[in-house]
Structure 1
């Protein structure tokens, strides 16, 4: 079955899947790769091998493909793209099915994120499947359950606590009436698992972590058995009758210790970061007013907008303040600042024309500042959250930036002293570049552009994985 369809935006243009696995060595570079960048830039995303019904295909489905660039000694040593080998992928490619544990008889090739933890490269996805372990050249080793200590499925998103090196996650599955808060020790074994009852089987794509609490986003996007039976899009719908709420769980607490705080209807895929000071939790995130209300073909009903939520633990209240009216997603921070106060944040900004009614005004620090719109592909934004300012790197017509990952220049460098790495489509070549920007000057010329031999389809999340030692 053809995997492209000009009538489905997720199977055409920059979203269209690529059909081959490629290995290219000694990649050409414009500029100079910083000598300090020794490691791998990896990014995961859906790349369906076959599509039974192109009209019903959704971006969130499709087998995962990891794209990676190896940097070392000022050189770009290789580019690789590899499908994650679930059973079905391996059989389709004529290979042996990978060994390893299974959960709920799921056969998923995780397509959402890629990280390295406890010496293992892990591709992740939400909704119940296990992560899959890859090797350093992106070959699949197999499903991974943290040495038999993970009794259920895993999550798309995790937070690495910079204080102790432990990995935190909140996992959900449509088959279970609860979500599970997980803590994986630096030894790679689950040391804490807390089941939190949640009715209605909501989609809980991500969570937030402070040094003392976990934030759970129980919002009105829920599993629909009817949508699953219909086989259209993804089986989640907007439930206007569901009361949205934010759960606040002490990191050392049990399910009975969760405080549920009511909030206005919305949906959140991705928080930027959370921290707490003087009895208040501050979290910045990309908020949708509504999602999947017209079926599961979105997200396209309302733009994702940057907000700051302030949780007053004494009053039991959540105050929400919009910070930017420009559509923004894939927020990231310096990973050393996870769970801690931070000055800077980064994200992908889309043209406001792409969302009905989206104004172009900036509300940082209580001030409204008009910003110019351009009909270009997605660009990058850097927020100075202390000064209440932002800088936007606008792409040339036809270019499109993926999620940008911040890499500090050194372990003790300043918060924005480092680089932003992102895959950017170059329409003149019809292929993508790994673009390396100086994080202190994101509107300036790139430090380097690593020219890849192929297009990297629009995808999801990734990480910079430095060489050990």
Structure 2
């Protein structure tokens, strides 16, 4: 059952998660070996005509041998998959490696043009649309890559020379201003940069915030007036870096776990730090604040990560939690909202930084801590406290869902949820389109692909032509 705790060590989840990564050897996780393109895709059901755009998904896809026993699960070359929908039809599917230096050399191509930052230019974590460009982004300092509608890598970008260093894996768009916000955390500095990219695609603000020991801030949260930082016990590990790890971070139990609250829009930013129980957060759901200054932050909370297993986030059963931050009292109340194992939260992004009622997550198999997919999608209603479950049949597993509103004025979470689903019986993938008006029912449409899309990280919907 859901629980409420304070921020003492007694409040965290008991026990550990079984170290089980055998599922990473299953076919659905194996990389594909070639770039392909397919047209005239088969559609079962009816694709809503209003779905005019491209569904994109990014993930790590090694070119050549990949062994989960020795290769970091986050370290392989990035690949983007895309499906173009429109006029009630599925026009094409294609996949392309993102052209970092190693992939360009392997394919005998010229290097990707544009500036550079850091030693590693591999980008494989996430996708974002901003200022008329579709960007592939990642942790660790590599610059974003610009891709076109054919999924070709066009260039690296430092936002016309305005980006002072690296970028991040989870930038957030303010739905009110249209600006893009990021928290850039590098492997060499004891500070992070709070970045604001204006609607023209240029960095107009870069505020440094001191931190201790180079924490891995994979993500952050945004409210109307504040940025919320996660300074948690996964941090830079020099020994891992010397050993050549592409993701040189590990669990460091002697570090404090704390949440930083930083006012937005200040050139000299100072964080108010509040302690929480030791844990790690890859993905917050959303954050918002009330009239009294309290901040609500919903997160997917891992008990720990990269401790006994440095290659996979397999050591805990992530669940949905709510942190209520009270800056005046300097206190945090931690409450578990749902005890099912889940990850990859998404909301109606028109509510980013604002109070939200609904959240979508991927329900994971409790035996697979490092899973990138699961047997069901969940829709959490934070008003009623109810969670609806859309289960997939025949052993199928789904990845992160992307919500698309029915129209610009549709109520929150009224529209469609799109997700890639793997069918082990056919060794092929499908795009499922769920109508949120009948979330637990049959999909409105299923687009069959003639190939498998390996389980990956994050997805994006790009409306219209681009």
| 1:288-303 map, 5 Å | 288-303=302-317
| Farther-moved stretch of structure 1 (207-216 vs 278-287) | 278-287
1:141 matched residue in structure 2: 154
Answer whether contact 1:168 1:182 (CA < 8 A) is retained.
yes
Answer whether contact 1:210 1:276 (CA < 8 A) is retained.
yes
Give the CA deviation at 1:233.
Answer: 7.5
2:98 aligned with 1:84: yes
2:338 aligned with 1:324: yes
Whole-Å separation in 2 of the counterparts to 1:229 and 1:51: 23
2:301 aligned with 1:287: yes
SS in 1 for 2:281: strand
Give the CA deviation at 1:454.
Answer: 1.0
Give the CA deviation at 1:352.
Answer: 2.8
| Farther-moved stretch of structure 1 (111-120 vs 11-20) | 11-20
SS in 2 for 1:348: strand
SS in 2 for 1:146: coil
1:120 matched residue in structure 2: 133
1:44 matched residue in structure 2: 58
1:19 matched residue in structure 2: 33
Answer whether contact 2:28 2:424 (CA < 8 A) is retained.
no
User: With structure 2 as the length reference, what TM-score do the two structures score?
Assistant: 0.92
1:30 matched residue in structure 2: 44
2:262 aligned with 1:265: no
Give the CA deviation at 1:353.
Answer: 4.1
> Per the alignment, do residues 177 and 51 of structure 1 end up closer, same or farther by CA in structure 2, a change over 3 Å counting?
farther
- For this pair of structures, how many residues does the alignment match? 443
2:191 matched residue in structure 1: 178
SS in 2 for 1:114: strand
> Per the alignment, do residues 214 and 172 of structure 1 end up closer, same or farther by CA in structure 2, a change over 3 Å counting?
same
Select 2:432's aligned residue among 430, 435, 440.
435
> Per the alignment, do residues 224 and 248 of structure 1 end up closer, same or farther by CA in structure 2, a change over 3 Å counting?
same
Residue by residue, what CA displacement relative to the aligned partner does 1:310-333 show, whole Å, maximum 9, x if unpaired?
A: 011221211110011111100000
Whole-Å separation in 2 of the counterparts to 1:73 and 1:355: 39
1:242 matched residue in structure 2: 255
2:237 matched residue in structure 1: 224
User: With structure 1 as the length reference, what TM-score do the two structures score?
Assistant: 0.91
2:82 matched residue in structure 1: 68
Structure 1 regions of 5+ residues with no counterpart?
A: 1-6, 357-375
| 1:303-322 map, 5 Å | 303-322=317-336
Give the CA deviation at 1:299.
Answer: 1.0
Whole-Å separation in 2 of the counterparts to 1:418 and 1:141: 32
SS in 2 for 1:347: strand
2:116 matched residue in structure 1: 102
SS in 1 for 2:239: helix
Whole-Å separation in 2 of the counterparts to 1:466 and 1:318: 39
Whole-Å separation in 2 of the counterparts to 1:468 and 1:311: 41
2:423 matched residue in structure 1: 426
Answer whether contact 1:209 1:339 (CA < 8 A) is retained.
yes
Give the CA deviation at 1:257.
Answer: 2.5
> Per the alignment, do residues 255 and 261 of structure 1 end up closer, same or farther by CA in structure 2, a change over 3 Å counting?
farther
Whole-Å separation in 1 of the counterparts to 2:71 and 2:251: 19
1:214 matched residue in structure 2: 227
1:451 matched residue in structure 2: 448
Residue by residue, what CA displacement relative to the aligned partner does 1:116-171 show, whole Å, maximum 9, x if unpaired?
A: 21111100101100010001110010211111111101100011111011001111
Give the CA deviation at 1:23.
Answer: 0.6
